[in-house]
Amino acid sequence: MRAAHSRQKSYADNHHRQLDFEVGNKVFLRIAPMRGVMRFGKKGKLSPRFVGPFEILDLIGPVAYRVALPPALSGENLTYTEELMRIVERKEQVLRNCAIPLVKVVWNNYTISEASWELEEEMQLKYPQLFDSDHDNL
């Protein structure tokens, strides 16, 4: 099982490429189809999956860009940002021979019942201000 997993991972890694964009590049935007909504002139299977090309105006974050949109699309909010509000709980998921530290995260604009378990290491990289050496911020 482990050999098959590592073989599949190597296949995926060989075909994966890191995309880096700069200001001035032209990009296509992927659109998500909605049932019963006709956008961009076609409905169903014939509706486009990508629209563009659009020019990148500004680099906002590592994977966030400001794009020059035509007036027909400029009124729509195409951004998606999710901000971490606080950490409410910690636990370790114990597997056969390792323990994975997890934190229960409450996201901005969500209730505590919608909190999600995330890897502590990833959250420390994204939100270092919420972590200290004593773990007192619960």
Domains and CATH numbers, the chain: 22-80 (no CATH), 84-130 (2.40.50)
pLDDT of residue 26: 92
pLDDT of residue 38: 47
Q: What is the pLDDT of residues 35-78, one digit of tens each?
A: 444 455 666 667 777 888 889 888 887 778 888 887 766 665 55
Q: Which of 111, 132, 112 has its CA nearest to residue 120?
A: 132
E-state strands within 4-98:
26-30, 50-61, 64-67, 84-94
Query: Cα separation of 58 and 92, whole Å?
Result: 40
Cα-based distances in Å from 91 to 83, 88, 94, 100, 132:
21, 11, 9, 8, 17
Q: What percent of the chain has pLDDT over 70?
A: 75
Higher local confidence (pLDDT), 89 or 38: 89
Judged by DSSP in three states, 11 sits in helix
